[in-house]
Amino acid sequence: MPSIKEVFRMSLVTVIKASLSFTGKQIFNGIAFQVKPKDRIGLVGPNGSGKTTLLRLIIGDITPDNGEVRLAKKSRVGYLPQDVQETLSGPLLQSVVESVPGRVKLKNELKKADASLKNLSCKHDQIRAAGNMAEILQEINRLDIEYPPHAAEKILSGLGFVTSDFDRPVSSLSGGWKMRAALASLLYQKHDLLLLDEPTNHLDIPAVHWLEQFLQDFDGAIILVSHDREFLNRQIKSIISLGHEGMRSYSGNYDFFVKASDEERKTLEAKSRKQEQRVKQAEKFIERFRAKASKARQAQSKIKLLKKMEMVKGHSRVKATHFSFPEVPQSGRIVVSINGMAKGFNKKSLYKNINLTVSRGERVAIIGTNGCGKTTLLKMLAGEIDPDEGKISLGHAVSMAYFAQHHSNMLDFQNTVIQEVHKVIPDKSIGFVRGVCGAFLFSGQDVDKSIDVLSGGEKARVSLAKLLVKPGNLMLLDEPTNHLDISSSEALINALSEYNGTLLFVSHNQSFIKNLATKIWDIREGKIIEYPGNLTEYFHHIAVMKNESAGPFAWNYPDKESDKTKILDRKEQDRKKDKRQKAERRQLVYNTLKPLLAEVKRLEGQIAVLELKQKDLEKLFGNPDIFSDKNRGVPLLREHKALREKQDKLLLQWEQNQYKLEITRKELEVDLNSNTP
Residue 478, domain member (yes or no): yes
- For residues 644 and 588, membership in a common domain is answered with yes
Q: Beta strand 66-71 with 13-22: parallel, antiparallel or unpaired?
A: antiparallel
Q: Beta strand 40-44 with 238-243: parallel, antiparallel or unpaired?
A: parallel
- CA dist 461 and 451 (Å) reads 11
- For residues 391 and 481, membership in a common domain is answered with yes
Task: Tell me the residue range of the domain where 542 lies.
Answer: 536-573
- For residues 519 and 567, membership in a common domain is answered with no
- CA dist 439 and 264 (Å) reads 25
- For residues 503 and 589, membership in a common domain is answered with no
Where residue 609 sits, what CATH number does that domain have? 1.10.287
**Which residues neighbour 390 within 8 Å (Cβ) at sequence distance 6 or greater?**
338, 339, 340, 341, 342, 353, 354
- For residues 529 and 541, membership in a common domain is answered with no
Question: End of a domain among 555, 573, 591?
Answer: 573
Residue 343, domain member (yes or no): yes
- For residues 408 and 521, membership in a common domain is answered with yes
- CA dist 669 and 666 (Å) reads 5
pLDDT at 585: 57
- CA dist 270 and 117 (Å) reads 80
pLDDT at 570: 45
pLDDT at 367: 93
Residue 487, domain member (yes or no): yes
- In the chain, the amino acid numbered 87 is T
- For residues 636 and 594, membership in a common domain is answered with yes
Residue 598, domain member (yes or no): yes
- For residues 632 and 651, membership in a common domain is answered with yes
Residue 29, domain member (yes or no): no
- In the chain, the amino acid numbered 615 is K
- For residues 608 and 667, membership in a common domain is answered with yes
pLDDT (tens digit per residue) in 614-661: 888 777 777 767 666 666 777 877 888 888 888 888 887 877 777 677
- For residues 598 and 516, membership in a common domain is answered with no
Residue 249, domain member (yes or no): no
Residue 441, domain member (yes or no): no
Asked if residues 518 and 496 have their Cβ atoms less than 8 Å apart, the reply is no
Residue 665, domain member (yes or no): yes
- Number of domains, the chain: 3
Where residue 359 sits, what CATH number does that domain have? 3.40.50.300
- Residues of the chain where predicted confidence (pLDDT) is lower than 70: 1-9, 86, 121, 123-127, 285, 289-299, 302, 306, 308, 310-321, 545-592, 624, 626-631, 659, 663-677
- For residues 616 and 653, membership in a common domain is answered with yes
Question: End of a domain among 522, 546, 573?
Answer: 573
pTM as predicted? 0.68
- Please give the torsion angle defined by the CA atoms of residues 81, 82, 83 and 85, in that order, rounded to the nearest 10 degrees: 30
- For residues 506 and 549, membership in a common domain is answered with no
